[in-house]
């Protein structure tokens, strides 16, 4: 099992550009989560999906952020237009139902200049 795969590992972009982050969850996992890590707030949940359907997007900062899960093996998080305050590490995680927690990917470090 290759685990949760995120791409790219690093992204540097200019303010105003569109950014797309990608995630491949573990096969068989029903849930997919997008988190953002910041110093002030730690790991913030942005959105999560169950069986490819968005369940809770209350953590998405504003309309500039959108996420899709077109099938069970792929999800994207898009920021358009990007701003310097979006600079953070973005993590994708997946899980089955149950209390044992998630498996996280290695993250995408986004820098908006």
Partner 1 sequence: DQQVKQNSPSLSVQEGRISILNCDYTNSMFDYFLWYKKYPAEGPTFLISISSIKDKNEDGRFTVFLNKSAKHLSLHIVPSQPGDSAVYFCAAREGAQKLVFGQGTRLTINP
Give the separation between CA 104 and CA 58, rounded to whole angstroms. Answer: 20
- 101 contacts 3 by C-beta, under 8 angstroms: no
User: In sequence order, which ranges of 1-113 are alpha helices (DSSP H)?
Assistant: none
> Does residue 28 bind partner 1 (CB under 8 A)?
no
How would you classify residue 17: left for phi > 0, otherwise alpha for psi between -120 and 50, otherwise beta?
beta
45, 74, 76, 81: which one binds partner 1 (CB under 8 A): 45
> Which residue in the set 46, 77, 107, 112 belongs to the binding site for partner 1 (CB under 8 A)?
107
Contact with partner 1 (CB under 8 A): which of 26, 95, 110, 112? 95
Interacting residues toward partner 1 by CB under 8 A: 4, 31, 33, 35, 39-45, 48, 50, 56, 91, 93, 95, 97, 99-107
């Amino acid at each position: 099992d290759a685990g949760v795969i995120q791409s790219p590992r690093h992204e540097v972009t200019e303010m105003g550009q569109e950014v797309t982050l990608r995630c491949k969850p573990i096969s068989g996992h029903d849930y997919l989560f997008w988190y953002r890590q910041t110093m002030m707030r730690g790991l913030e949940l942005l959105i999560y999906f169950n069986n490819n359907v968005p369940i809770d997007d209350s953590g998405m900062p504003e309309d500039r952020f959108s996420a899709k899960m077109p099938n069970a093996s792929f999800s994207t998080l898009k920021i358009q237009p990007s701003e310097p305050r979006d600079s953070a590490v973005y993590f994708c995680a997946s899980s089955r139902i149950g209390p044992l927690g998630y498996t996280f990917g290695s993250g995408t470090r986004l820098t908006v200049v």
